[in-house]
Each structure stands twice: as structure tokens, then as C-alpha cells.
Amino acid sequence: MADVTITVNGVTFRVPAGTNVVDAARIGGISIPVFCYHPRMKPVGMCRMCLVQVGTPRLDPATRQPMLGEDGRPVIAMMPKLQTGCTTPVSEGMVINTESDEVQFAQKGVLEFLLTSHPLDCPVCDKGGECPLQNLTMAWGPGNSRFDYNDKVHFEKPVHLGDLILLDRERCILCARCVRFQDELADDPVLGFDNRGRNWMIISKSDPPFDSKFSGNTTDICPVGALTSADFRFKARVWELSSKPVVCTLCPVGCNLSLDMRYDQLMRVMPRENGAVNDIWICDKGRFGHRFIEHESRLTTPLIRKGGHLVEASWDEALALVAEKLAAVQSSRGGSAIAGLASPRLSNEDLYLFQKLFREYFGSHNLDHMPGSAADVDYDEHGALMGVGKGTNLMEMGAESLVLVIGADPEEEAPLYVLRLRAMLERGAKLVVANMRPTKLDRSATTRLYYQPGSELAFVRGLLRAVFDRVGHERLHLKHSGLEQLRKTLSDLSVEQAAELCGVPAETIRAVAQALLEAKQGLIMYGAEARSAGAGMSESLGVLAALTGKVGKPGSGLIALLPGGNSRGALDMGVRPDARPGYAVLSQRGLGAREVWPALREGRVKAVWIAGLDPAAQLPAARAALEAADFVVVQELFLTATAKLADVVLPAASVAEREGTYTNAERRVQRSRQARQAHGEARPDWQIIQGVAQHLSELSVPVAVPTQRVEESSQPVGGKGKSKGPGKTTAVTVAEPSTWDYLTPSEIAAEIAERVPGYAGITYSALAATGQGGDWGRQTNEAIFYDGTNYENSEGIGIQLPNLIEGQKTAVSLGLRPLSKPAHERSLLLVSQSLAYDGDLLLRGSLLERQIPQPYVALSQTDADKLNIKPGDTVRLDSAAGELTLSARVVDDVPAGVALIPANLPNFSAAAVQTGPRTRVNLVKVVTG
């Protein structure tokens, strides 16, 4: 929008038209105090703190031109009353006065009124020290009050608004920031006002109360200490805290956090502004879910199994033992008798070294980052290959962009995306949500549609056909192969036939295809439920992006929601049996986790090294395999079920006790800093891996890489090794033996930058130099506006990786797998639902643990009626694999034909029935008695 010239307190400058007076003055470095106004929300003019004098040039009624005074300057008509700056947009020639006596009189008056019913209990208030009310009173307040102190209204001190947030009604200044955040930004309208007058107060009547995954943000934006978090209340004074920049590893968003530490203790978790990732928000999982760091059950020393018991040992002893045992297995059975599983929450540095050790020392590709359950989904490659283009920033996207969310429930899988997508909508983006069942995001969607359970692939094929019918391949600007094959595959299924299969009307399919074609920028976000349909799904979505020209440019491409904080990093680093770092497919693959368990039982694999995964908790097969293994080493935060079966347990440092980089769903690499000293003797994972490597080299184990193991194809993924892409089979020369003497993770990052395709240039110094997150937080006039809300980002905003096709070195295979006919031998499709609050070990010790549900299976009313099942009944599921007994829920949101169970609950495993990511089951009521 065009700029307009305004004059504030005699200073004339230009600001964008449409800016409100508060923000406009701020551009000129002039502070107008506010309480209710918040730049991320629409102004409401509730608190009157921002009153200013405003005048506009007087227009000549005849010419509509500004009238000029004797001095030749426009005559300014001042408005007769003070105006609220937050609700007044600037206009050309506007004159604003923020310092006149009248304005000061009003400011003093507003503060005097606000304080009439304020308890002034700053000495025991969590907000004290970063409280806008304190600060504004000091700067703009009257200094004393004419009101009788004894006339203050009193309420019972804090009431629980929900499990996590407490409300002190005496302190509330009724600015409605919290209410508006929940209504406008989070779309969880669970807060409201009860009563009126002096009894006006915030309430939450949802069931459960304050039912939102974003509730903690209200404590940040509350301009007083009315909202406090159950997690931080009375723990510390804010001026004692030092803020340490880390990255959240609890989901693939990778929000920037500030761990506020007092000495070495974590007091609270706050958001750190990063416009490209989390803006100024974090979800409750990130805010409350970091108590694992200091949990008393954390491992502090290495443990070695002696006489059947795990006993404490020194690091030297433990590492030497690990090296010795692994070397022994290697020399007797070869490196392929060793397997390694590493968690997708580890940093890139850990994951890189882990696979490097396995590949270079043991010559083993038996690597994985999944637990090896039948429900493990295929490795997601298209999220990287066709990932969002470099330079994608959701904060800058709006009009002319479209987001297709398919088979995903962002609220549970990657909560912050809900806020990001809603902000895009607010700026005019379109949001198409396609799922087999309703999710909360539907409420925000511009188009929502439900396909028949299990028919997502048919739906996407329908979209593809509709796109192809309209534009053919004219938008395909990528190096590609298999176009003919694609043409043929698509001609096999008309849009009408696809509509028939997926239950979405053909017109709707065509309309979505058309909208995607018309949008300038298009994002396709897919999650657990889409991925559980198999790799064919991400492949088809990739082709959809390619055919619609929504790939290889900023603001377009795929976003895969993968489990954990760094699944993308694990895939990039090649912690998988079939590809090296950078998705370089191996011609001879190793064993993935799912194959490792039988191999261990059969003795083909003898030793296994598990870093940060707990397969034994969920999988009886893993348990049996670990019991049968010759040697098991586990590096972990806790003594997990898996660790209990280990021969050596190595205590690992948590994200707070180490540095590292993590790659998020949009392939942005971000650096996390160390916030506290080592927990006991725990060490960062990379150090542990390096320690073992050093001991191995002391044992002078040669870097034995059998030649046939390095025979590999440099052909990219997507080619499936079959099509005739441009990939050439090359023998990669083994890098010269590493010395394994990294001093800091930055040295590993430098090596990654050198060796892992796509990571070129991602060094710690480059990451630090990526600029600030934005202009929030603690700045010159910070206290006036938003103090206590969150923190300036001093660590840079991270670097987005180019997607693999951006370099155009890689050809994309357009070949699609044939649509498989769904088998219907059993009546229901068992789908596991990812939940934000699940059995993740990292939630240990947090207030969120109470919100983890008990195991259940959710059914539609239709199926429940058919099977004569009432809520609460015990039911038995049976599949080709086995049986499972559960309690039933009957839920509106579950479509007929689906049995929904929560994924990854503590002390519960569906492994007994699962035959794959999806399982066909029959269900009967168990009649007891």
C-alpha cells in the first residue's frame, strides 16, 4: 500500500497507509502506551490507554483540497475529543499529538482508574519485573491515587481456568487480549467474560476447561499478572532468569524457545521470535513439556550389566566395553551383524556421526530411526525432494496462495502450524483440508472435504487427472522421467471414477485442482494419516506439486509432518538402511528396524545399538529380540524398558545440555544452544558415539568397508532404482579414515556441510549470521508495549535447505505405483491417530502427563449401532495378526468403517493386531460375567 505522511509530536515522516496510529508512531520511534492493543490481533479500543490527539487537514468543501492557512500550510482540524490510537488508521497529512497536557491527563486518568481495583501485589506476582502495568504506571501513571485503598474489589485469589493456567481476577484489567487470542488466533473460543461492571471476569467453560493447545501464550500476552502458568507460578523472579536459546524437539515445527534458567535450573519455557517458524508463539507441549530435562529419573552415570544387574560404571569402562563387544561381533560375524537405531529427536550432528560410525567402521547399513513396528510408515522422501522451496516464509504468504492439508491433523502432529495457517488465511490465503475424518482445522478451512476411509490415494489421483486434463504437463519445469508412464496411469482412471472410489464429488475434485492451478503459491501439507497410506501417497502428492508448477520456488512445495523433532534430519543424514546422507540410494540395502528384530532372534544380527528409542515399550517382538541379542547398548535419558534390557546403558545429554542443529518440516536448519550443565555425567550423543569410535580405533579395528558395500548408485530417490533416470552407478571412494576428534558440534556441522548434499554452507557461523527473528521483545521501547511476551531472537532464524530438485541435478520420476484394491476381508480399518500428548518420554514430569488419554478405540455411531456397542463397552479387535481388547468410545467425528486408536500411548501397544500402518480388523463386544 502507498505511504502517507504524518506528523507526530512535530516530527514528520512517512508510514504505510492503513497503519494504525500506535504502530505508525512506533515507526517514528514514538511510544504510545497500550494495554489491549496487540499487533497480532485486531484492535478493539477497550482500555483507552492509547488516547492521543488527532487532527486531519481541513478540506475545502468545494474542491476537496486541503485548505491552506496564512502561512501557506494546511489548516489542521483537530478532532474535538481524544482518539484511541489503536483503532485510528493514519491518513495523509494527519497530525498526532501524544504528549500534550490533555493526553497526559487522559493517560494518568486511565491508569488511576485501572489501579482502583488492582491489588498491587507486585511483590508476590509472577509478572512483577516484566509487567506492562508496572512499567506504564511508572512512565505514564499519576503517582498517587484519589481512591480509597479499602474500596478495592476483592475476589478469591487464583482460580484454575484450566489445568495449566490460573487466573487472578483482582489483577485482570479486562483487556480481552487472552479472549481474542483464543478466538481469533487459536480458534479455540474457550475464554469469555462473565458478569459485568466490577464483577466482570474471565471464565472458561469448555469441557475440559481452557481446552486449547495454545493456552500458555495467553500468559505471555496478558499485560498484567492475571494469567499465570501452573508450571512457573511462584518459582522465580524474572530478573533472576537468564534466557538460553534452544529449539523445541517435540514436533517437526521446531519452534524457537528460550529456556529461562536460574543458575542451572529450568524455570520456564518462553517463545523466541522467529517469523519463519513460530512467530512469537509456542504450543503448550513446547512450553510445559520440557520438564523431562530435570526429571529425577534421568540417568546420570553409565550402567553396565554385571551378574544380571545394571551397575554403575565409569565412562571409560562403559565405552571400552561397547567398543570391545562391537569389535568382537564385527570380527567374528562381520559388520552386518551390528544394527543401529537412533531417535528422530537427536540432532543432525548425532545422527550424522551415528550413521558414519556404522557405515565407516562397521560397514553396516543396518540403520533406522523408527522403532521397527509393523505400523512404521515408509521413509518420506518427497518431503525433501519436493519440499518447500528455499525462501518459503509462511509469515509472508497470504493472498494468492493455497494450502492443501491432506491426511493430517496439524493440531496434534505439529500444533503451531494451526496458528501459522490461520494467520495465512487472515491474509487471504485459501485452505483446503482433506481428511478421512473431521479435524479441528476444518473450522478454518475455506474448503473441507472428506474422502472415504482408505481412499486418499484415489482422491489424489483424481486431482492429478483433473490437473492433467486441464494443463497437461505444460507447467512441469523439472527434469523428469516417466511422463509417458504417468500419462498412461492417469488415463486409466477418470476423475469420475476417482470420485466414485473416494466419495468426493467429481466437481469438487476439479474445483480443488483448479484452485491449486490458479494459486500463485501452493503448499501441500501431509501428515501421519496420509503417510500411513504408503509411499504412493507422498509420491502422488509430489507429482501433483510438479504438474501444478508448485515446486522449486519459494512458497510452494510439500511439507511432510513427520514424528519427532528431527525426522527430517534423520532422513537427510541417512539414518536408514537404504540410503546414505542426502537420499543417495544404496544398491544393497541393510536391515531396517522391522527386519532387525527377527534377524536378532535368528542370530543374523548379534549386537544392536539404540540411541533414544524405546522399542521394547511398545513391541513384544523387539523385547524378545533384545532378550535374544548378544549385546545391546542403549544411550538414553531414562532407564526405559529398552534400556532395562541393555548390557550397557549410556546416559545422554538432553537438548538443554548440549548444542546441535535440527531440521524442521520446512527443512529449515536451526541451531540450539546449551542451557545448562551436564546432568550428572550424561554426555551429548555425538560425544558418546565419538567415544566409542575412539575406543574402537584404540582397539585398532580397521576401517573395514567391504568394497561391494560402497557400490552404490548416485541416483536419487523417487527413481525407485528401476526407472532409467540419469543416475549413474559409481563407486564412491571411501573418505579417508576419520580421526574422530571433533571438539565441538560445529566441527561436525562443518563436515555435514561438506559432505551431505543440500547442507552445503550450513555451518554454525552461517546459522548465527541469519539475522534476527523480528522486532519483538526486549528493545528500546519494549516495556511500553509488550514486555514479558517473549524474547528477541539473538541466534538467527536458521537456514532453509534447498529442496533436492532445486539444483536441477536430480530428475523426478513421475511414475506412479498402481492403485491397490483395498482388501475388505475384515470390516473396519484400524487407524492410529497421532496425539500431541502421548506416551512420548519427553513429556515425563510435565503437567501434560495428566492429559494423556487412557487407551480406547473410537467408533462411529453407525458402526457402534451395528455392532451393538455402547460407549465404555469392552471390545475385542481381531486382525490377521492377533487380538486386542480395549474399551470403546463412540465418537461423532469418526467415519463409519474406521476404528481409531490413539498412537503411542504409554503402557499400551496395539502391536498385537497391527499388520502395517493400517490394519483391517473385526470388532466384537466382549460380554463379561
Q: What residue ranges bind ligand FES (CB under 6 A)?
A: 34-37, 45-50, 84, 86
3-state secondary structure of 705: coil
Please report, for residues 247, 666, 848, 904, the alpha-carbon distance to residue 414 in angstroms, rounded to integers and kept in the order given: 14, 12, 16, 16
**Residue type present at position 152:** K
Q: Which stretch binds ligand SF4 (CB under 6 A): 176-184, 434-442, 618-626, 815-823?
A: 176-184
- Pick what 189 binds: ligand SF4, ligand FES, other proteins, none; C-beta below 5 to 8 Å, kind-dependent: other proteins
Q: Which is nearer to other proteins, 77 or 703 (CB)?
A: 77
Nearer to other proteins, 105 or 147 (CB): 105
Listing DSSP states for 199-257 in one string gives G-EEE--SSSSS--TTTHHHHHH-SSTTEEETTTTTT--GGG-EEEEEE--SSTT--EE
Q: Which stretch binds ligand SF4 (CB under 6 A): 410-418, 468-476, 541-549, 814-822?
A: 410-418
In the list other proteins, ligand FES, ligand SF4, none, the entry touching 255 (Cβ below 5 to 8 angstroms by class) is: ligand SF4
**Partner from other proteins, ligand FES, ligand SF4, none contacting 455, C-beta within 5 to 8 A by type:** none
Question: Residue 814 and residue 485: Cα distance in Å, rounded?
Answer: 8
- Residue 193 binds which one of ligand SF4, other proteins, ligand FES, none, with CB within 5 to 8 A depending on kind? other proteins
Nearer to ligand SF4, 260 or 360 (CB): 260
With CB under 6 A as the contact rule, which of the stretches 246-254, 465-473, 600-608, 890-898 interacts with ligand SF4? Answer: 246-254
* Shortest separation between residue 104's beta carbon and other proteins, angstroms: 9
Instruction: Give ∠ CA 909-911-915 in degrees, rounded to 5.
Output: 150
The residue assigned the cell 511439507 is 559
CB 568 within 8 A of CB 538: no
Direct distance between the N- and C-terminal alpha carbons of the chain, in angstroms, rounded to an integer? 73
Helix (H, G, I), strand (E, B) or coil at 16: strand
Count Cβ atoms below 10 Å from residue 125 Cβ, excluding itself: 21
Residue 194: which of ligand FES, other proteins, ligand SF4, none does it interact with, CB under 5 to 8 A by kind?
other proteins
User: Judged by CB under 6 A, which of 282, 386, 710, 890 binds ligand SF4?
Assistant: 282
3-state secondary structure of 511: helix
Instruction: Give the nearer residue to ligand FES in terms of CB position, either 42 or 488.
Output: 42
Binding site for other proteins (CB under 8 A): 77-80, 101-102, 105, 189-196, 203-207
Which residue of 414, 424, 547, 900 would you call a contact of ligand SF4, by CB under 6 A? Answer: 414
402 binds ligand SF4 (CB under 6 A): no
Nearer to ligand FES, 39 or 916 (CB): 39
- Check residue 178 for interaction with ligand SF4 (CB under 6 A): yes
The SS3 call for residue 868 is coil
User: What whole-number distance in Å separates Cα of residue 838 and Cα of residue 234?
Assistant: 28
Cβ atoms 813, 719 nearer than 8 A: yes
Task: Give the bridge partners for 687, in sequence order.
Answer: none
Q: 610-640 in b/e burial notation, b at 16+ Cβ within 10 A?
A: bbbbbbbbbbebbbbbbeebbbbbbbbbbbb
User: DSSP assignment, residue 532?
Assistant: T
Residue 192 touches which member of other proteins, ligand SF4, ligand FES, none, C-beta under 5-8 Å by kind: other proteins
Place of cell 470390516: 827
132 binding ligand SF4? (CB under 6 A)? no
Residues 661-720 that bind ligand SF4 (CB under 6 A): none
Report the distance separating Cα 100 and Cα 46, nearest Å: 22
Least CB distance to ligand FES at residue 757 (A): 51
The C-alpha atoms of residue 929 and residue 920 are separated, in whole angstroms, by: 29
Query: In the complex, which residue's CB is closest to ligand SF4?
Result: 286
Q: Which is nearer to ligand SF4, 10 or 197 (CB)?
A: 197
Contact of residue 84 among ligand FES, ligand SF4, other proteins, none (CB under 5-8 Å per partner type): ligand FES
Q: Which of 215, 278, 348, 654 binds ligand SF4 (CB under 6 A)?
A: 278
What are 66's three cell numbers?
Answer: 486541503
Q: Which does 282 bind (CB under 5 to 8 A by kind): other proteins, ligand FES, ligand SF4, none?
A: ligand SF4
Report cis status (omega within 30 of 0) of the bond before 208.
yes
Among 8, 114, 255, 342, binds ligand SF4 (CB under 6 A): 255
Least distance (Å) between residue 580 CB and ligand SF4: 28
The entry of other proteins, ligand FES, ligand SF4, none near residue 206 (CB within 5 to 8 angstroms by kind) is: other proteins
Q: Does 248 bind ligand SF4 (CB under 6 A)?
A: yes
Among ligand FES, other proteins, ligand SF4, none, residue 700 binds (CB under 5-8 Å by kind): none
Question: Of 115, 174, 353, 431, which one interacts with ligand SF4 (CB under 6 A)?
Answer: 174
Q: Residue 87 is inside which H or E element, if any?
A: none
Residue closest to 841 by CA, chosen among 640, 683, 685: 640
In angstroms, rounded to a whole number, what is the distance separating the alpha carbons of residues 433 and 375?
A: 24
In the bound state with ligand SF4, the residue whose beta carbon lies nearer, of 288 and 451, is: 288
Measured from the CB atom, is 47 or 241 closer to ligand FES? Answer: 47
* Out of 26, 38, 127, 177, the residue judged to bind ligand SF4 by CB under 6 A: 177
DSSP 15: E
Judged by CB under 6 A, the stretch of 166-174, 441-449, 575-583, 624-632 that binds ligand SF4 is 166-174
Nearer of residues 235 and 440 to other proteins, judged by Cβ: 440
Cα 581 from Cα 351, distance rounded (Å): 10
| C-alpha grid cell, residue 215 | 493456552
Binding residues among 196-225 for ligand SF4 as defined by CB under 6 A: 202, 222-224
Least Å distance, CB 257 to ligand SF4, is: 7
Shortest distance (Å) from residue 374 CB to other proteins: 39
Are the C-beta atoms of 617 and 840 separated by less than 8 Å? no
Q: How far is the CB of 19 from ligand FES (least distance, A)?
A: 14
Smallest distance, Å, CB 847 to other proteins?
Answer: 22
How many angstroms separate the Cα of 377 from the Cα of each of 607, 609, 722?
24, 21, 21
Rg (CA), the chain: 30
CA distance 664 to 675: 21
Q: For residue 694, which amino acid is it? A: Q
Closest distance of CB 202 from ligand SF4, Å: 5
CB of 71 or CB of 296, closer to other proteins: 71
Instruction: In whole angstroms, give the CA distance from residue 60 to residue 299.
Output: 79
Which phi and psi (to 5°) does residue 723 adopt?
-65, 160
Regarding beta strands 309-312 and 227-229, do their DSSP bridges make them parallel or antiparallel, or are they unpaired?
Answer: unpaired
Instruction: Choose from other proteins, ligand FES, ligand SF4, none: what does 814 bind? Cβ within 5-8 Å by kind.
Output: none
When the beta carbons of 45 and 845 are compared against ligand FES, the nearer one is 45
The CA distance from 885 to 15, in Å, is: 65
C-alpha atoms less than 13 angstroms from C-alpha of 484 in its C-beta half-sphere: 2
Q: Which is nearer to ligand FES, 50 or 276 (CB)?
A: 50
User: Could you tell me how far CA 211 lies from the centroid of its own chain?
Assistant: 19
Give 231 or 863: the residue with its C-beta nearer to ligand SF4. Answer: 231
Does position 34 interact with ligand SF4 (CB under 6 A)? The reply is no
| Torsion angle in degrees (nearest 10) through CA of 655, 656, 657, 663 | 30
Residue 153 amino acid letter:
V
Shortest approach of other proteins to residue 799 CB, angstroms? 41
Nearest distance in Å: CB 182, other proteins: 9
8 A C-beta contact, residue 526 and residue 408: yes
Nearer to other proteins by Cβ, of 170 and 659: the residue is 170
Residues that bind ligand SF4 (CB under 6 A): 172-178, 202, 222-224, 226-227, 248, 250-251, 253-255, 278, 282-283, 285-286, 414-416
